Amino acid sequence: MAEKAKQQQPRFAFSFPVTFVLFAIAYIYFSTVFVFIDRWLGLFSSPGIANAAVFTAIAVMSLFSYRAAISTDPGRVPATYTPDIEDNTTPLHEIKRKGGDLRFCQKCSHYKPPRAHHCRVCKRCVLRMDHHCIWINNCVGHANYKIFFIFVTYAAIACIYSMILLVGSLAYDGLPDDENNGGSYRTVYVVSVILLAPLSISLCVLLGWHIYLILHNKTTIELCWQYYEGVRALWLQEKGGSIYKHPYDLGPYENLTSVLGPNILSWLWPTANHIGSGLRFRTVYDLTKGASTSK
């Protein structure tokens, strides 16, 4: 219970990137609802109310998941963790490329579980570390990866939705040219385009990137830098002349449910109650062992 409470402890340290994200969320929301929707559909018309309600729901979920991604600890390695190389239920142990020893963090003075890595910013090892994200002032790891992914999903949807409403507003009424409020409206449109265009592109690219990672059960570290640190299975397969396959890739559906959960109704909710301890992960060897047992 104490460990779980520690993982949910909020992080209140000031961060300029986090402040910028909060400002961007607030600006996009108010400009979308009170300018784009109001000028195109009318805020108090039926289409206007419907679009404002839908966009508000998306914005609330974006803010809620963003808060959860910031405050949720990505996963700590227990001080008592020691890999058991004689455990038959664990067919794969990650070892160092040089020397073949079990991975040990000299800075934290403990062994590293599979897929765990040391974060130089957080100054500790993180379970199933994906990357350190300055935009949430936190690492993205085992305990908050799904939450981070859900935030990126809602944020991308919100930006695309806002862009559609912005374009529709301009197509319907054009840029205002009256002297009373035309200047302020023009500023809102110009700032919104400058903010929304790069955000929409970058968030869609980021979302596509993590969809690919999820479907292949890989982390950014594992894919970009091939940071397997000499997985024992890689050595054995290379010696045998066979082609290496990522040991945690269980197939698209299994990979998807391992991150988002087995219940499809909870896939878009920023919680991760199904993830387990993060000290051991299913591998293709588990599937092979299960298949041979069933025969």
Task: Give the residue numbers marked as catalytic.
Answer: 133
Q: How far is residue 272's CA from residue 128's CA, in Å, rounded to a whole number? A: 14
3-class SS letters over 61-95:
HHHHHHHHHHHCCCCECCCCCCCCCCCCCCCCCEE
Phi, psi of 117, deg, nearest 5: -145, 155
Buried/exposed code over 171-201 (b: 16+ C-beta within 10 A; e: otherwise): eeeeebeeeeeeeebeebbeebeebbeebbe
Six token digits for residue 88? 């038959």
Q: How far is residue 250's CA from residue 247's CA, in Å, rounded to a whole number? A: 8
Q: How far is residue 90's CA from residue 3's CA, in Å, rounded to a whole number? A: 24
Q: How far is CA 25 from CA 29, 30, 195, 201, 267, in A?
A: 6, 9, 10, 16, 23
Residue 256 and residue 89 in contact, taking contact as beta carbons nearer than 8 Å = no
